[in-house]
Structure 1
């Protein structure tokens, strides 16, 4: 079995790899770690009474930033 070099992949390449190799848990964890480091992960606090509004704001910010990168 060939081992993929996750570090050599861009974050988008790693995402595509993970989607086509769903059984590769190490690749998934690498994707999650790198996504968090890049600020591309959105998280919610269910104890926050306004979590839905916060989530909507985070999604809007995320999509506006991604649109600027393209």
Structure 2
């Protein structure tokens, strides 16, 4: 089995890798950890009446990058 260096990948490359290697749980964890550390993860409060708008804004911002 080939060892993959997740740290050498950009976040975009790592995302692509995770999507094509869905069985690689270590890659998934690396992606989530890196996304959190780079401020790419969002949290919502379902009790907030504007939660849908927050998600839409996050999607728009993600598409701009």
Unaligned runs of 5+ in 1: none
* CA distance in structure 1 between the aligned counterparts of 2:36 and 2:52, rounded to whole angstroms: 16
Aligned residues: 65
Unaligned runs of 5+ in 2: none
Cα-to-partner distance string for 1:19-54 (whole Å, 9 max, x where unaligned): 0000000000000000011111122234xx21x513
1:26-41 to 2 correspondence within 5 Å? 26-41=26-41
The RMSD of aligned alpha carbons is 2.0
1:12-23 to 2 correspondence within 5 Å? 12-23=12-23
Taking structure 2 as the reference length, what is the TM-score of the superposition? 0.80
Distance 1:39 1:62, change over 3 A: farther
